[in-house]
Amino acid sequence: MLLAFSEKAVLRMNTRNIFTDPAVAQFYDLTPRDRQDHMFCKSLARNAQSVLDLGCGTGEFTVQLIKERRVVGLDPAGAMLDIARTRPGGEQVTWVEGDARSFDLSETFDLICLTGHSFQFLLTEEDQRAALSCIAKHLNPTGQFVFDTRNPDFPGRKTRSKEETLSQSMHSKLGPIESWNISEYDEAEQILSFINAYKSLETGEIFSAPSQLKYTSQKKLAQLMADAGLQVTDWLGEWTGEPYHPLSREIIPVGRKA
């Protein structure tokens, strides 16, 4: 019997991982992103002698920090780190395959940053607490941390369809690529489940993988950070430096050890 599955259901059955599977990780840098987070973090790093880029992914930001300071990029996804290592300047970074929830580098840093909403891949309160406590442990007494997480109260839909997100780009080996994502938000759990898909327009082959993101309120984050021994000096609502307000797009805490 021929079973008809919706495109969404077929993609969902996919067991690839967006970051650890090289077949999907190879598309990460194709998505055009406005990287105001990089500019902000680079300005924070100006006087830092050592920086830890947690959840560094393919290292696009990490390699921008290498001038005259120690730089460590840490990520659990070997496939992302493999791309990072081949970047110009990648040889000057110490790349560590590790997890924000459990790493122990036996050194402390002047700046620890998580860009690109890496924090939202920590899906439970337990995971968030573990990561925040690792951050506190790896900060110098005057060291700073910064990360971004999308504000659950920002007005507008979080759910997206293929039609809304469809775009085209050029892969250096595979040629023209059509990409899209499909997402669904669970309001009660504050979890966004999504699928990223990339289709080679030359062969028709589709590479896709599902993942999830956690949304956390500013009030909850403030509690978690205080419990981890972290003090927030500034709450921003955008990487441009605007202060956080209850409906801002982002929640960006900047701070130190308490």
* Site residues, ligand SAM (CB under 6 A): 19, 54-57, 60-61, 75-77, 80, 99-101, 115-118, 121-122
The CB-of-38 to ligand SAM minimum distance in angstroms stands at 8
The CB-of-2 to ligand SAM minimum distance in angstroms stands at 38
The CB-of-155 to ligand SAM minimum distance in angstroms stands at 23
Closer residue to ligand SAM, CB minimum distance, 71 or 122: 122
The CB-of-6 to ligand SAM minimum distance in angstroms stands at 26
Closer residue to ligand SAM, CB minimum distance, 21 or 184: 21
Compute φ and ψ for 183, nearest 5 degrees. -135, 155
Alpha-helical regions (H) of the chain: 7-12, 22-25, 36-44, 78-85, 125-137, 162-165, 218-227
Closer residue to ligand SAM, CB minimum distance, 17 or 108: 17
**Local structure of 130: helix, strand or coil:** helix
Q: How many other C-beta atoms are found inside a 10 Å radius of the C-beta of residue 161?
A: 13
The CB-of-73 to ligand SAM minimum distance in angstroms stands at 9
**Local structure of 11: helix, strand or coil:** helix
Closer residue to ligand SAM, CB minimum distance, 189 or 202: 189
CB within 8 A of 1, min separation 6: which ones?
none
Closer residue to ligand SAM, CB minimum distance, 130 or 201: 130
Q: Which DSSP category does 18 fall into?
A: T
Closer residue to ligand SAM, CB minimum distance, 12 or 117: 117
The CB-of-101 to ligand SAM minimum distance in angstroms stands at 5
Please provide the DSSP assignment of 188-205 as one string. TTTEEEEEEEEEETTT--
Element spanning 53, H or E: strand 50-54
Measured torsion, CA atoms of residues 234, 238, 241, 247, in degrees rounded to the nearest 10:
-60
Closest residue to ligand SAM, judged by C-beta, is 116
